[in-house]
Structure 1
Amino acid sequence: MLTRALIVVLAILNLGVALWWMLRGEPAPAPPPPTTGVAQLQLLPATASAPTGASIASTPAAALDDVTPAPAPPPPAAAPAQAPAAESPAATAVVPAPVAAPPAPAPAVAQAPAPVPAAPAQCVSLGPFTDRAAAQAAQAKAGGTLRGARLREVADAGATRYRVVLPAAASREDAQATVKRIVAAGLSDYYIIANGEEANAIALGQYRNREGAERRMAALSAAGFNARLIASGGDGSAQWWLDATLAPPADASAARQRSGAAQQRSLDCARVR
């Protein structure tokens, strides 16, 4: 039953659609678009009375309306940019900003010169002189070129050998103990005299010139040993020497010339003090 009812309903709907399609009118055609630039004829309504000849003559343009759109006016020309008005001198004047003065340079700190190390003292021995008076006269002639001068007598000036000796010890054991002290001080060239008048004495070197023997004695004295110098092979005559420290800027040659000495020898300054 339900199926038959649906079929009947669909048939009625189709019949209604067909009747509506048959009875609808034809659509009015759309008016053609107006032609640009051509005047169009406009009909007056039929109920209006016909205008008289005079009115037609007087108003010929009333029946025709020009519906042509007026051309668009050209865009206005852009106004030229106006130059900015001249500013008054008062407005344009620029007040310069105060310029800060550059800071004054800091005064350079004077640096103290580096201390110059003092030159080591130089000592000299001038001579030989025949007697004490001649050595004193030479000291006076040298004057300010010498400092701390002292006179030194050299016995056996004609000696050919010089020995450096430590006095004899009380026993062999004491002499050996002294030898150990000498070795500990870093000294060499020694031996213990076994026989004779100098038994248990310690010989510390033999030299052909007095200057070498005196350097050896200076080294022993610095180590704390009291050595003595023994000359041999001479005629017993004595000489005098002038030992002193050179006063700057004098040199040994200048001091020798002023004193009148025949020779000059370098000297350890420890012996002058």
Structure 2
Amino acid sequence: MLTRALIVVLAILNVGVALWWMLRGDPAPALPATPSGVAQLQLLDSPSAPAAAATAAAAASAQPPAATTALADATPAPPKPAAPLPTPAATVAVEPGPAQLPETPPAPTPAAPLQCISLGPFADRDTAMAAQGKASELVQRSRLREVPKPGASSTYRVMMPAAASREEAQATVKRIAAAGISDYYIMAQGEDANAIALGQYRNREGAERRLAALSAAGFSARLVGGSEGSAQWWVDAALADKASPSTARQRSGAAQQRSLECAGLR
């Protein structure tokens, strides 16, 4: 049984070989021989490229030295390297310095606190006014102030002369009231009976303002009391910048200087 199977397999193989021999076609013509010394073109995708490259390498090694030299001379010289570009000048690296903040303007110098003083005492108003003028360059503003002398009476009264009768005094009072002036009364006793009192003042300035108001309304009055030497005068002043109290006192001719609250001078 096994022998028959082997015979059948061999018969099939023989038939296959006979068919191949009959169908294989004519053999490919041989390529002409390549002249010696000529390079052979090769296709990269050709299956015979590795074999052709090996054949060319063998032919080149078999040529004499003269042929090798001719091929070397025929090979183009490699291009010369391009001249190097000029190197730019070295750049000096500057390290950034610390950030500079904008200059802050200096804070304004605070003004010196205002200093006020009283200069005096002066015997009368005219002397005080003269002292005020002498110290005017050292003060910002000033005023005159009258105060009673210690131990002396400084009461000033504004009065109208005594009338001939009380009826006449009352008629005068009606005209005063009609003019819009208040603070009045009729004296009833003493040497000033039927006289009209129009106010009592502690300083001469107030009394003089009352006299001026009565005169403007058409009434004639007089100042009573406040004898000479019963009052003193002072110059209240606010010092200018860089002026000292002692300098202001010497300039005005005052005998004394006293500290003063500036709030009372405004």
Q: Does the TM-score normalized on the shorter chain lie above 0.5?
A: no
- Structure with bigger helix share is 2
Q: TM-score, normalised by structure 2?
A: 0.36
Q: TM-score, normalised by structure 1?
A: 0.35
Which protein has the larger Cα radius of gyration, Structure 1 or Structure 2?
1
